[in-house]
Amino acid sequence: MSDKDPNFPPPPYPPGQHIIPPPRPASPATAEYRLNHLMLRIKDPEKSLRFYNDCFGLHTIFIFNTGAWTIYYLGPRDSSIQTLGTSKGLLELYHIPADASTQYTFGNDYTNPSGVGFGHIGFTVPDVAAALERVKSFGYEVIKPLDSAEVKDMAVPGAVVEGKEGEVVEGYKNVFRQLAFVRDPDGYWVEIVPQVVKS
């Protein structure tokens, strides 16, 4: 462990092992900080709300038209506009009509000349297979099914996972087989993870 920051032990890290740093010491200055939300740009609010509300169970907390674009704030059903400051797991969708002809970069396409960046958002569910059936019944695309640990499904260049940069360990492949990926209406990847991952 680093003497300077035990929460960031220096590499190298042994493949196939979880490195679990000790809890960070209390920090009065940041004691009330929480990751609150993620923002995605969307092309069609009706399609996006059907995906996130109807298929994945979020509810719309509020809609706000700024004049130039519209914001849709989504979250768990126990969230409200009064609890936004203390809520977790919120999703902010920006519909910007002026972007109608702008191509968005989704982050997992290494062939895109704009490059990569954002990877995916994730939902935990009690039963991944049932969630996938629900996604399919809504007509959305399954990118990576259960029980697959194919190189093409890992969202990194093939050369990385084919051994040129190091073999992907079987422990990770075991976890990867238990989760799935689907595509939202704008092309963003959405990961579906079991609440309990089997070792």
- Annotated active-site positions, please? 191
Contacts of 138 (CB under 8 A, 6+ apart): 50, 51, 54, 55
d(CA 43, CA 181): 21
Residue with tokens 């032990």: 9
d(CA 53, CA 55): 6
C-alpha 46 chain-centroid distance: 21
d(CA 101, CA 21): 45
Q: In 17-119, at which residue ranges do the beta strands (DSSP E only) sit? A: 37-42, 59-65, 70-75, 90-95
